[in-house]
């Protein structure tokens, strides 16, 4: 009994001395063995704001965990060092890869080294393709119009909508059309359930939880809990993806046999099948396409959801944007020598015809002239980046520009969500939504990608940036030109902890038509 008391006293003393040594140290509370895991778990549902607090006090925050150490950075100089200057020292890494492999496989967002470089080269050529750009523009317009019809119906029936759900459906349908070349129809007027979409959401949530769940490997080995649910979701995802791949390979083979090369589709899957030839295994194609789905579906829908929320909670922004779109519409009608249809918000058919006419003015070049719209989307991404934090592995010991020493085997994470809220990055109004900050002498001015990190920076800068902006401008131009949005009373807007910054409760709105 006396021995037990000695052990207890030693343990208590050890904990006390550890806590005493931490008293003047910035950052979260740490404990022997557990590190900061306890505080991080307690704050898991608000982790992005938890990091904002610490990063506002120190540009670099070191968070010890039971089996590794996370170093969070928000200073552009440190970010540039990690993403560009010493790029080769900061791959995705084995830790990140082990978390995400079940969903992303060897795709571009989970690959390093030569495998990543090869995919990057192929993907960059495809995104520069005029065929893909023209195909994408048409797809984005078509699905934005499908969404518009649903909103018009809801407004006539006085029914509220979950805008985030609708946008997720729109971007899923769009990316499956652009990525797979298939129509999955989740944005049909009756809003049917889709097993692939549900499984994809579930898998995304569970792999995110792995980052702070030290027991996930045990649950995976035993096939229990969230890991059992993840296995079921991945099976649904794979069944759908492989069926599309097999069907597309047969279609391309038939086209080749008939000597009709010009009839091969312009979607990403078809292009990778063509370019990969015999080296394109079903598994590699599966990984390529799913990486583009997660990049093009969730990120775009989440950003559009936050953009609409920002607009409806900042009336002056909504009106300024509406005015820009009205003037744009009138100018385009004059350029094309067409008469604008009469606006009638009380007649369903004529209202939809007016929306359709407006959409005919929208293409890549014309949308780029809408500078305030571009600023609204960019300002949304500053405060609500689609990827709120992005971890990297550490191959060798290093010293960041601010003097922070980091050890091989740990992880360093730059935090776009926090970076957009730091006064040392954006000035005293950093936390305010102000699209005007992006203009200088009346012209939109970009910021360094190491400061505005929504699309990453350096060699891994997002290849789909222009495509994402194209889809978001297309959708926002139509939505903000013809509708006003009102939050359903009592609806709470907050983020959900996933790899993508989506809304936990959706975005429930009432819709008002406008001329």
Please report the domains of the chain, with CATH numbers, ordered by start residue.
34-513 (1.10.630.10)
- Matching residue, tokens 């960019």: 378
Per-residue pLDDT, averaged over 154-163, amounts to 96
Q: Which residue has the higher pLDDT, 362 or 177?
A: 362
DSSP of 17-63: HHHHHTTT--SS--BTTTBTHHHHHHTGGGHHHHHHHHHHH-SEEEE
- Burial classification of residue 442, based on how many CB atoms lie within 10 Å of its CB (0-12 exposed, 13-18 middle, 19 or more buried): exposed
pLDDT of amino acid 13: 43
pLDDT band at 310 (very low <50, low <70, confident <90, very high): very high
Of the ranges 33-42, 108-117, 244-253, 499-508, the best mean pLDDT one: 499-508
d(CA 454, CA 448): 11
Percentage of residues of the chain with pLDDT beyond 90: 57
pLDDT of amino acid 25: 54
pLDDT band at 437 (very low <50, low <70, confident <90, very high): very high
pLDDT band at 24 (very low <50, low <70, confident <90, very high): very low
Q: Which residue has the higher pLDDT, 294 or 76?
A: 76
Per-residue pLDDT, averaged over 179-184, amounts to 83
d(CA 16, CA 477): 59
Contacts (Cβ under 8 Å, ≥6 apart) of 34: 66
Per-residue pLDDT, averaged over 427-448, amounts to 96
pTM, to two decimals = 0.87
Residue 8 has pLDDT above 90, yes or no: no
d(CA 514, CA 482): 5
- Burial classification of residue 317, based on how many CB atoms lie within 10 Å of its CB (0-12 exposed, 13-18 middle, 19 or more buried): buried
pLDDT of amino acid 12: 44
Contact 237, 203 (CB under 8 A): yes
Closest by Cα among 355, 322, 360, 364 to 338: 360
The number of helices, as runs of H, and strands, as runs of E, in the chain is 21, 13
Q: Which helix (H) or strand (E) holds 378?
A: helix 371-383
Q: Which residue has the higher pLDDT, 266 or 82?
A: 82
Share the mean pLDDT of the chain: 88
Q: Which residue has the higher pLDDT, 228 or 27?
A: 228
Residue 27 has pLDDT above 60, yes or no: yes
Contact 370, 378 (CB under 8 A): no
pLDDT of amino acid 128: 78
CA distance from start to end of the chain: 83
* Residues facing 486 on adjacent strands: 510
Per-residue pLDDT, averaged over 54-70, amounts to 84
Residues 398, 20, 41: CA angle, nearest 5 degrees: 65
Contact 402, 59 (CB under 8 A): yes
* pLDDT per residue as tens digits for the range 194-217: 888 889 889 988 988 887 788 899
Residue 16 has pLDDT above 50, yes or no: no
Pick from 10-19, 280-289, 379-388, 453-462: least confident: 10-19
Contact 478, 355 (CB under 8 A): yes
Half-sphere exposure of 369 (CA within 13 A, CB side): 12
- Matching residue, tokens 């607009």: 311
Pick from 123-137, 319-333, 346-360, 456-470: least confident: 123-137
Q: Which helix (H) or strand (E) holds 392?
A: strand 390-393
Contact 475, 164 (CB under 8 A): no
pLDDT of amino acid 414: 96
């Amino acid at each position: 009994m006396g021995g037990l008391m000695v052990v207890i006293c030693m343990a208590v003393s050890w904990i006390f001395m550890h806590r005493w040594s931490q008293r003047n140290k910035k950052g979260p509370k740490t404990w022997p063995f557990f590190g900061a895991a306890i505080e991080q778990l307690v704050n898991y549902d608000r982790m992005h704001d938890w990091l904002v607090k610490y990063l506002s006090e120190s540009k670099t925050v070191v968070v010890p965990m039971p089996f590794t150490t996370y170093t969070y950075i928000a200073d552009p100089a440190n970010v540039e060092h990690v993403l560009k200057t010493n790029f080769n020292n900061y791959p995705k890494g084995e830790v990140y890869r082990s978390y995400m492999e079940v969903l992303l496989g060897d795709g571009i967002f989970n690959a390093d080294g030569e495998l990543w470089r090869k995919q990057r080269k192929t993907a960059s050529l495809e995104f520069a393709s005029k065929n893909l750009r023209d195909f994408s523009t048409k797809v984005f317009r078509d699905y934005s119009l499908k969404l518009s019809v649903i909103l018009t119906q809801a407004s006539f029936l006085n029914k509220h909508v979950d805008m985030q759900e609708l946008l997720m459906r729109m971007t899923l349908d769009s990316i499956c059309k652009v990525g797979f070349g298939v129509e999955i129809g989740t944005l049909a007027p009756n809003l049917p359930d889709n097993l692939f979409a549900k499984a994809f959401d579930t898998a995304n949530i569970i792999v995110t939880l792995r980052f702070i769940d030290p027991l996930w490997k045990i649950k995976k080995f035993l096939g229990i809990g969230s890991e059992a649910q993840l296995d079921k979701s991945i099976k649904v995802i794979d069944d759908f993806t492989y069926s599309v791949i097999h069907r597309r390979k047969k279609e391309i083979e038939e086209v080749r046999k008939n000597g009709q090369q010009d009839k091969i589709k312009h979607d990403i899957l078809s292009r990778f099948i063509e370019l990969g030839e015999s080296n394109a295994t079903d598994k590699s194609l599966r990984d390529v396409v799913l990486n583009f789905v997660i990049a093009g579906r969730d990120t775009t829908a989440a950003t559009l959801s936050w953009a609409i929320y920002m607009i409806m909670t900042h009336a002056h922004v909504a009106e300024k944007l509406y005015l820009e779109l009205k003037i744009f519409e009138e100018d385009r009608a004059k350029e094309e020598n067409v008469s604008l249809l009469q606006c009638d918000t009380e007649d369903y058919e004529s209202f939809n015809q007016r929306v359709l006419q407006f959409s005919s003015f929208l293409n890549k070049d014309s949308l780029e002239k809408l500078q305030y719209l571009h600023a609204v989307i960019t300002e949304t991404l500053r405060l609500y980046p689609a990827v709120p934090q992005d971890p990297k592995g550490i191959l060798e010991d290093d010293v960041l520009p601010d003097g922070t020493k980091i050890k091989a085997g740990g992880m360093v994470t730059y935090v776009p969500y926090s970076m957009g809220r730091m006064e040392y990055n954006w000035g005293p109004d950093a936390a305010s939504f102000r699209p005007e900050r992006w203009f200088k002498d009346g012209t939109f001015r970009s910021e360094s990608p190491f400061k505005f990190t929504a699309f990453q920076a350096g060699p891994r800068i997002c290849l789909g940036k222009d495509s994402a902006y194209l889809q978001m401008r297309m959708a926002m131009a139509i939505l903000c030109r013809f509708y006003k949005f009102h939050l359903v009373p009592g609806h709470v807007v907050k983020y959900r902890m996933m790899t993508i910054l989506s809304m936990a409760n959706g975005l429930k709105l009432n819709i008002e038509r406008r001329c």
